[in-house]
Structure 1
């Protein structure tokens, strides 16, 4: 990979690929290409060493067994953690969110150590959270929309902060959603979330590039966001 090419690591898509979150890598690569910035998506599969030389790392969702398998692999091959220590951007969704935290307990009652890149602890909730979510973000982005499907409830500690309060949906389970510390950001939102929220995609790219990549209007995404906001207003489980 050339030094001028931004490297996007799609982490364990064969393990954490249940909800099509691999589409987030395609969104980042395409938005860079539209701006004339070279990018390459590198798929890091189970059994592969995890390189510490990429600029962005993406983790998706998966069931309990896949999540436990993934965190064991990432602890054994700590390239992602080393890269994060040098300022790489790390983005996790659902199971990926929980893996990035300090620990998570799966539905069988087993507690697993996470990677510790976020100050967040997750345990099973009383029932599965399924449906549309709207989050009023604190970083100043437009409200985020996405679809959640998880049992976990996450407590964000003082070393991280939530992305913002939940307007509709469950999120972390305490009225907030997601977590962020430095250039490590995670959420429960599927969609893929970066396709539904291009401003969030550009926030991550801005971190990776060292400056905002510039606005790129996408009217069709705006229409999708409005449709999803209306869907959330029609109501779902508290």
Structure 2
């Protein structure tokens, strides 16, 4: 079979290369002996008949409204995918657009698609949060990446992706990062996150394969690439002053 990975609105939601998480999934599937294709979905007219995973990357505030308008054309599909258990990875403003809504620094409100709980609000202290981000997730282990955002995330404290080890994450003193609802994931982790965190990528791929009724076993080339990822992770953890248990 051929796995189909949909990258939603990549022309507007790929500021940090986060739409390329789709390429990570597709390549790991090919190394495992499966066929995979990536479909760039700019609006509902581009939607394939079936998807196995969905990536929603990050954009800039200048693209919030046009990106929201395009995602809104796929609102029913996003809700259905989330209910059915299709893995959906959303990052940065892409995640915020799937929330209840976004409050902007000038007092405006951008209504979200309400696929995920919580909302994005301006930082209480002002300014941007930038730097290394390390998260301990009960489902996916330690995750690394970098964060770059001017908003904090509230009202989703019951369902975080994980706890902060280094960085700010959702902010407001929550010590939490991201939000999870089933297989719908929202995070501030850029990188792209799946390239830096193979365990998270393989967890998504295993779920995709299980849903399709086939097996997923990482291929030989995957081990070579994962060794590079391990070195990058070790360097970032050291820079962030994080020592993991042996």
TM-score normalised by L of structure 2: 0.86
Alignment partner, residue 144 of structure 1? 143
Give yes or no for contact 1:10–1:57 (8 Å, CA) kept in 2: yes
Give yes or no for contact 1:64–1:107 (8 Å, CA) kept in 2: no
Give yes or no for contact 1:49–1:77 (8 Å, CA) kept in 2: no
Map Cα deviations across residues 29-85 of structure 1 (whole Å, 9 max, x no partner).
011001011111001125844446211110111111212221222113333333333
Give yes or no for contact 1:21–1:191 (8 Å, CA) kept in 2: yes
After superposition, the Cα gap between the structure-2 partners of 1:52 and 1:165, relative to the gap in structure 1 and judged at 3 Å, is: farther
Q: 2-side partners of 1:117 and 1:47: how far apart?
A: 17
Q: 1-side partners of 2:37 and 2:109: how far apart?
A: 35
Alignment partner, residue 232 of structure 2? 224
Structure number having the greater helix percentage:
2
Map Cα deviations across residues 12-34 of structure 1 (whole Å, 9 max, x no partner).
11001111112211110011001
Number of residue pairs the alignment of both structures matches: 229
Question: Are positions 1:206 and 2:206 aligned together?
Answer: yes
Alignment partner, residue 110 of structure 2? 112
Map Cα deviations across residues 188-212 of structure 1 (whole Å, 9 max, x no partner).
0111111000101111112222277
| Residue ranges of structure 1 left out of the alignment (5+ in a row) | none
Q: 2-side partners of 1:172 and 1:148: how far apart?
A: 10
Q: 2-side partners of 1:129 and 1:22: how far apart?
A: 21
After superposition, the Cα gap between the structure-2 partners of 1:69 and 1:75, relative to the gap in structure 1 and judged at 3 Å, is: same
1:29-178 superposed matches below 5 A? 29-45=26-42, 48-51=45-48, 53-78=50-75, 79-125=77-123, 126-139=126-139, 141-157=140-156, 161-173=159-171, 174-178=174-178
Q: 2-side partners of 1:36 and 1:146: how far apart?
A: 28
After superposition, the Cα gap between the structure-2 partners of 1:138 and 1:192, relative to the gap in structure 1 and judged at 3 Å, is: same
Runs of at least 4 residues of structure 1 off by over 4 A? 46-49
Q: 1-side partners of 2:168 and 2:217: how far apart?
A: 32
Q: Secondary structure, in 3 states, of the residue corresponding to 1:233? A: coil
